[in-house]
Structures are given as C-alpha cells and as structure tokens.
C-alpha cells in the first residue's frame, strides 16, 4: 500500500470504514485487536479509531496471511525486533509450504493416474488392486 502525506494526516477511520477498505469483516479487526496485532485509539465514546499506522499494519497482516502465515506467526514477527527471529519464522513457514506442495503434487499424481486408467471402474484395475493389497497388508505403496 502506497502512503502519501494526506494518508498520514487523514482523519482516523471507524472500524466499519477500515473493514470496508480491505474487504474484511469488522469482527476480524476486533479479533486481531484481541490478539495484540492492532491497537487502535478510542474516541470519547470508546469507539475504535484507526489511524495511518493501523491501516498500514492491517495491510501488512493481510499480506502475511496471503503468504500463509498464521496469526501467531504474524504476531511474533511484528513483535520481535530481531531480524534473525523473523527470518526463522519465515524459514519454518517455507519448510511447511514445501511439505504441503510435495503432498499436493503426490495427490495430483494419484488423481491424474486414476484419470488415465483405461478401466471403466478403477476398482477393477490391476494396478489399483495391487496398491490396495499393499495398503491392506500394512505396506504403504510408493
């Protein structure tokens, strides 16, 4: 999100306006506040008012979620001043993503194999039956 001087001096936003700006529900912002990710100011009536820093922080949270980070990871990254600590969180997330991708590729290979099978009923396929026999014998197929 590009910020300009007018963004920094703009009037604080109520919760509904900030939620609308990012296409999220107001309860999400309240939850993030309860987790310590956001800390908006309050007006005289106790209503939340989100300033420029809150807007930027919201954009950062959403970007981190797009990268697959959980709220606990995001909170840890935002709370630490230690760049090695932030890198370790990202390193761990990368390893997790690689594992997810590997599993998804194996799943895709199974689906594609089933789609390419010449048998009308996959249960009658000798290769499928072999794999099932290995599985029922307690041997994981390759």
The pLDDT tens digits of the residues spanning 72-122 come to 999 999 998 899 999 999 999 999 999 999 999 999 988 898 888 888 888
- Asked whether 15 and 48 are in contact (CB, 8 A), the reply is yes
Do residues 1 and 22 touch, judged by C-beta distance below 8 A? no
Task: Give the mean model confidence (pLDDT) for residues 23-44.
Answer: 96
Q: Which fold has domain 5-79?
A: Multidrug-efflux Transporter Regulator; Chain: A; Domain 2 (1.10.1660)
SS3 of residue 49 by DSSP: strand
pLDDT at 62: 98
- On whether the CB atoms of residues 93 and 68 are closer than 8 A, the answer is yes
For residues 21 and 28, what is the distance between their CA atoms, to the nearest angstrom?
13
pLDDT, one tens digit per residue, over 42-75 is 999 999 999 999 999 999 999 999 999 999 999 9
């Amino acid at each position: 999100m590009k910020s300009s001087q007018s963004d920094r001096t703009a009037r604080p936003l109520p919760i509904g306006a900030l939620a609308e700006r990012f296409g999220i529900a107001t309860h999400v912002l309240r939850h993030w506040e309860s987790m310590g990710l956001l800390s908006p100011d309050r007006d005289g009536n106790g209503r939340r008012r989100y300033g420029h820093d809150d807007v930027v922080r919201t954009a950062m949270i959403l970007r981190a979620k797009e990268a697959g980070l959980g709220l606990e990871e995001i909170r840890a990254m935002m709370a630490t001043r230690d760049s090695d600590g932030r890198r370790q969180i990202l390193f761990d997330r990368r390893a997790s993503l690689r594992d997810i991708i590997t599993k998804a590729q194996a799943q895709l290979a199974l689906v594609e194999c089933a789609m390419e099978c010449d048998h009308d009923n996959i249960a009658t396929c000798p290769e499928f039956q072999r794999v099932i026999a290995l599985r029922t014998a307690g041997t994981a197929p390759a």
